[in-house]
Amino acid sequence: MTQTSARVRMSPDDRRAQLLELGVGLLATRNLDEVTIDLLAVEAGISRGLLYHYFGNKQEFHEAIVERAVDDLIEVTAPVDLPGMGERMLVSLDRYVGFVESNHRGYVSLRRAAFGGNPRMWELYDGARRALTDRIFDSAGPDGLAELGIADTVGVRLAVRAWAAYAEDAVLAWVDDPRGIARDDLLASLAGALVAVAGTAPPVR
């Protein structure tokens, strides 16, 4: 009874957020095409009609779930309050790898949809990558960048954006098959690669 009255008191926004959370959870072990309104209706124990009320149509439903998943990724990998830049980087990378591990199928299918030509999925995917890499510069600030030995130039920004593709490729390959590489060693190598490619970034003359 308590549960029911709690549900009744929940605002439409809260209810929608709760349904999205459920949808993102389904995405962990399913690809985007498998996370349908029908499935969510069963999982949430509510009618399809009500879900359409919240999400409009299938396309908007998928976009809303992916947007929420991307927000989760950006939030979970946010820089932590640790004194050393290296440690902060390792914590964020640890959480990124954890996110890919926990949401492997959904992550791969989002990437697929983004590269596959769905403009909104691309916008969400590319926006996440942009946010994750720009944040390295914004959160570190001049002192943090100096600590890492990273300059903030157009060439370094290009290299760091490309490093995100590097990290994603390496992490997806590692999650598929760790091939004897320890998790901590992977994290350290990703952080090392970031500093290394920043060091070899092209100059802007």
Q: What is the nearest approach in angstroms of its own copies to the Cβ of residue 136?
A: 15
User: For residue 80, which amino acid is it?
Assistant: V
Q: What is the nearest approach in angstroms of its own copies to the Cβ of residue 6?
A: 41
d(CA 24, CA 106): 8
Q: What is the nearest approach in angstroms of its own copies to the Cβ of residue 147?
A: 17
> 53 is written with which tokens?
């009320």
Chain residues that interact with its own copies, rule: CB under 8 A: 111-117, 154-155, 158-159, 161-170, 173-174, 179-182, 185-186, 188-189, 192-193, 195-197, 199-205
Which residue is it, tokens 């060091």? 199
Q: What is the nearest approach in angstroms of its own copies to the Cβ of residue 181?
A: 5
Q: Which is nearer to its own copies, 139 or 189 (CB)?
A: 189
Q: Which is nearer to its own copies, 16 or 161 (CB)?
A: 161
Q: Which three-class secondary structure state does DSSP give residue 114?
A: helix
Q: Please give the backbone phi and psi of residue 78, each rounded to the nearest 5 degrees, phi first.
A: -60, 145
Residue 142 near residue 80, CB atoms below 8 Å: no
